[in-house]
Amino acid sequence: MSGPIALTVNGRRRRVDAPDAERLLDTLRWRLGLKGTKEGCRSGACGACTVLVGGRSTLSCLTLTHEVAGASVTTVEGIGREAVGRRVQAAFAREGAVQCGYCTPGFVVALTALLREPGPVASAERLLEDLGGNLCRCTGYAAIRRAVEAVRREVD
């Protein structure tokens, strides 16, 4: 069964016609034109497709669109609407943590979610450990590490 699905994407109410088996990744990229969310592995192993659903980090390649009906979805295109997201984006740019850029959207969204968690901000080491599901295939992670450490200092 397929039919119109209502959801809020980057603060905007949307209705999409998506088949029951369609992944959120495909809906975002091909039906809504939000190409910032990247397709890497389609198996949940790389983190390139990370979005926020209801504020929680979610792999859009493993999530069916109909599963998020009525939910609020934030992609990398919408992450800069809040101060933490803007800080994360700025730190990645400033530290050069964007070599080819393919993994960057997933890292930015996932790190923003981690920094928004209630309570004290985790250490940079813990944040990096929690980002372990996000893979970068073209760097030694040094610039990503610097960006995480920089934004961690800013939000502390």
Band the pLDDT of 156: cuts 50, 70, 90. confident
Bridge partner list, 52: 57, 74
The pLDDT assigned to 129 comes to 96
Domain boundaries, the chain: 3-74, 79-155
Band the pLDDT of 1: cuts 50, 70, 90. low
User: What is the Rg, in whole angstroms, of the alpha carbon atoms belonging to the chain?
Assistant: 15
d(C-alpha 36, C-alpha 34), whole Å = 6
Secondary structure (DSSP) of the chain:
--EEEEEEETTEEEEEEE-TT-BHHHIIIIIS--TTS--S-SSSSS-TTEEEETTEEEETTSSBGGGGTT-EEE-TTTGGGSHHHHHHHHHHHHTT--SS-SSHHHHHHHHHHHHHSSSSPPPHHHHHHHTTT---SSS-SHHHHHHHHHHHHHH-
The pLDDT assigned to 99 comes to 85
CATH of domain 3-74: 3.10.20.30
Q: How many CB atoms lie within 10 A of CB 60?
A: 29
Which of the following CATH numbers is that of domain 79-155: 3.90.1170.40, 3.30.450.90, 1.10.150.120, 3.40.980.10?
A: 1.10.150.120
pLDDT digits (tens, 9 = 90+) for 87-120: 999 999 999 998 888 999 999 999 999 999 999 9
The pLDDT assigned to 94 comes to 96
The pLDDT assigned to 155 comes to 86
The pLDDT assigned to 3 comes to 75
The pLDDT assigned to 140 comes to 76
Please count the residues of the chain. Answer: 156
pLDDT digits (tens, 9 = 90+) for 38-91: 999 999 999 999 999 999 999 999 999 999 999 999 999 999 999 999 999 999
Residue with tokens 């730190």, as numbered in its chain? 91
